[in-house]
């Protein structure tokens, strides 16, 4: 079997041969009348009318039978078989090359829909063989490092990222239909706030400023409530300089939303509606999904559990280890854990907040937001003491945000939802690396 470098040299020789014959292997002007899906949908009519058309795509699975040849042509919409006579016309072509063809459709004796070629030319010559033809593409780490090949060779992986795109689209539809406005807030921040996390640090040369990549958009979205907006949200990247495992990545996508004149009780109803909307849209109106072999039923009201009761039952402060499978609200957190949340009016030691777990994953964190500037300052000062004692994830005192609160922020509720974990749940993926296109990875040595 030839080595990868030998195969590459052969392809380079074909490339040089094309150039020597005055054929541009990377032309700019491409003829393409339709996607392959259109040809397949119009096949019977176009077979009757002998319609000719141009297609463009990537060659797959070349099969030579003496003087004739068959190969598959693939684009983003589908795949179709092509027939070429004489087969010698394929001498300069390899599996993986992008080509332009002209032809008409017919059906083979085996009943396969096929394009009979009249013209064929290379429009992007490839220099490396595709993994399927070379050594397969099964190594998990290699799949993540070379996601472009993973998408190319594994249709189920490509489908997961199409679903991820649909999730984002449907989330935006839901929020727009409920009167929310999407905003973009700074990623580079003087003070990283809105979550207890260790930030990434950088430096802006133009202003000679040390800055941080945001750990959350929360404090800026709340400034928008001060500014008069009542329903705001943002879908964007957050960055936390913490560990990497099946459910954590330093760069991740978060949805955060805030609504004026509401509290956390209102968001229990809102979020159940949101999850049911998403599941129905993505699951053919079926409200039960499967995650890690467990059916998860969204048709029933979410279960409710108290933080203290779970600690007594499981003896562990880490809720992620409790494997709450069915959609569950967990509330009753100590206020010290959530310094941006109001406390319960009947118990000032507890935060007016809840989290949503399902499939063993924490997906949502929700607060009735603290809008008392005096108490918020005290909470920040307590966090600064923790930071001085060595707690790197403690929140910082943000004077600008406190000044904004002193101008008045309406009573409001807000939540953050992890899009990566949500996508993992809705695609039955066991690790975030399966649904993050280019996950953070250590370079190969």
Domain ranges (residues) in the chain = 4-136, 147-434
pLDDT of residue 137: 62
Contacts of 315 by beta carbon, 8 Å cutoff, 6+ apart: none
Sheet holding 353-358, edge to edge: 181-182, 231-239, 251-260, 412-418, 361-368, 353-358, 328-331, 303-306
Q: 347 - beta bridge partners?
A: 344
How far apart are the C-alpha atoms of 278 and 166, rounded to whole Å?
9
> Rounded CA gap, 427 and 405, in Å?
40
**H or E element that contains 26:** none
> How open is the CA angle 152-159-184, to the nearest 5 degrees?
105
State the pLDDT at residue 317: 65
Distance CA 194, CA 175 (A): 21
Q: pLDDT truncated to tens, each residue of the chain (445 aa)?
A: 889 899 999 999 999 999 999 999 999 999 999 999 999 999 999 999 999 999 999 999 999 999 999 999 999 999 999 999 999 999 999 999 999 999 999 999 999 999 999 999 999 999 999 886 545 566 788 889 999 999 998 899 999 999 999 999 999 999 999 999 999 999 999 999 999 999 999 999 999 999 999 999 999 999 999 999 999 999 999 999 988 999 999 999 999 999 999 999 999 999 999 999 999 999 999 999 999 999 999 999 999 999 999 888 877 767 767 889 999 999 999 998 899 999 999 999 999 999 999 999 999 999 999 999 999 999 999 999 999 999 988 999 999 999 999 999 999 999 999 999 999 999 999 999 999 999 988 888 7
30: left (phi over 0), alpha (psi -120 to 50) or beta: beta
Indicate if 147-434 has the same CATH topology as 4-136. no
CATH number of 147-434: 3.30.930.10
CA distance 242 to 249: 8
Token readout for 296 is 């998860």
Give the number of residues written for the chain: 445
The per-residue pLDDT for 315 is 73
- Tell me how far CA of residue 411 lies from CA of 10, 305, 321, 329, 374, in angstroms: 69, 25, 34, 22, 15
CA distance 231 to 180: 5
State the residue for tokens 């463009």: 56
Q: What is the CA radius of gyration of the chain?
A: 28
Q: Which residues of 163-189 are buried (b: 16+ CB within 10 A; e: fewer)?
A: ebeebeebbeebbeeeebeeeebeeeb
pLDDT at 347: 94
Q: Which helix (H) or strand (E) holds 202?
A: strand 201-204
**Domain 4-136 CATH (choose: 3.40.50.1820, 1.10.10.10, 3.30.930.10, 2.40.50.140):** 2.40.50.140
Task: Report the C-alpha gap between 288 and 294 in whole angstroms.
Answer: 10
Indicate yes or no: pTM above 0.75.
Answer: yes
- Rounded to 5 degrees, what angle do the CA atoms 304, 306, 307 make? 135
Write phi, then psi, for 386 (nearest 5 degrees): -65, -40
Beta-carbon neighbour count of residue 389 at 10 Å?
8
For the chain, the maximum distance between any two Cα atoms, rounded to a whole number of angstroms, is 86
Supply the DSSP symbol for 395.
P
Contacts of 358 (CB under 8 A, 6+ apart): 291, 296, 324, 325, 326, 327, 328, 425
Could you give the CA distance from residue 325 to residue 296 in angstroms, rounded to a whole number? Answer: 7
Structure-token pair, residue 445: 């040595």
Closest CA to 430 of 296, 297, 293, 244: 293
């Amino acid at each position: 079997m030839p080595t990868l470098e030998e195969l590459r040299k052969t392809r380079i020789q074909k490339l040089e041969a094309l150039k020597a014959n005055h054929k541009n292997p990377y032309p700019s002007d491409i003829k393409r009348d339709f996607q392959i899906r259109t040809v397949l949908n119009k096949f019977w009519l176009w077979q009757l009318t002998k319609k000719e058309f141009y297609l463009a795509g990537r060659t797959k699975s070349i099969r030579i039978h003496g003087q004739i040849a068959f190969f598959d042509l693939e684009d983003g919409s589908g795949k179709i078989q092509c027939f070429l006579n004489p087969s010698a016309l394929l001498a300069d072509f390899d599996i993986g090359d992008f080509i332009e063809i002209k032809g008409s459709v017919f059906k083979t004796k085996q009943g396969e829909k096929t394009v009979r070629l009249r013209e064929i030319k290379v429009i992007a010559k490839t220099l490396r063989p595709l993994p399927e033809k070379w050594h397969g593409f099964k190594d998990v780490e290699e799949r993540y490092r070379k996601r472009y090949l993973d998408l190319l060779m594994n249709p189920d992986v490509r489908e997961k990222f199409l679903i991820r795109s649909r999730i984002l689209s449907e989330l935006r539809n839901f929020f727009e239909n409920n009167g929310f406005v999407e905003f973009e807030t700074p990623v580079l921040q003087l003070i990283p706030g809105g979550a207890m996390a260790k930030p990434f640090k950088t430096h802006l040369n133009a202003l000679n400023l040390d800055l941080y990549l945001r750990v959350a958009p929360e404090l800026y979205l709340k400034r928008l409530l001060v500014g008069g907006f009542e329903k705001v949200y943002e879908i964007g990247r957050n960055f936390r300089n913490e560990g990497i495992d099946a459910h954590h990545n330093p760069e991740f996508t978060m949805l955060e939303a805030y609504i004026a004149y509401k509290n956390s009780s209102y968001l229990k109803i809102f979020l159940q509606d949101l999850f049911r909307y998403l599941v129905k849209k993505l699951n053919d109106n079926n409200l039960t999904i499967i995650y890690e072999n467990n059916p998860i039923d969204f048709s029933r009201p979410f279960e409710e559990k108290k933080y203290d009761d779970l600690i007594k039952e499981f003896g562990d402060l880490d809720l992620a280890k409790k494997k709450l499978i069915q959609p569950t609200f967990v509330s009753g957190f100590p206020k010290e854990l959530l310094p941006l949340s109001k406390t319960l009016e009947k118990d000032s030691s507890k935060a007016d907040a809840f989290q949503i777990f399902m499939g063993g994953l924490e997906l949502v964190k929700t607060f009735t937001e603290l809008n008392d500037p005096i108490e918020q300052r005290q909470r920040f000062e307590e966090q600064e003491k923790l930071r001085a004692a060595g707690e790197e994830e403690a929140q910082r005192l943000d004077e600008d945000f406190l000044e904004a609160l002193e101008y008045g922020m309406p009573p409001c509720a807000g939540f953050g939802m992890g899009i990566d974990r949500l996508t993992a749940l809705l695609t039955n993926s066991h690790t975030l690396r399966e649904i993050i296109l280019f996950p953070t990875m250590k370079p190969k040595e």
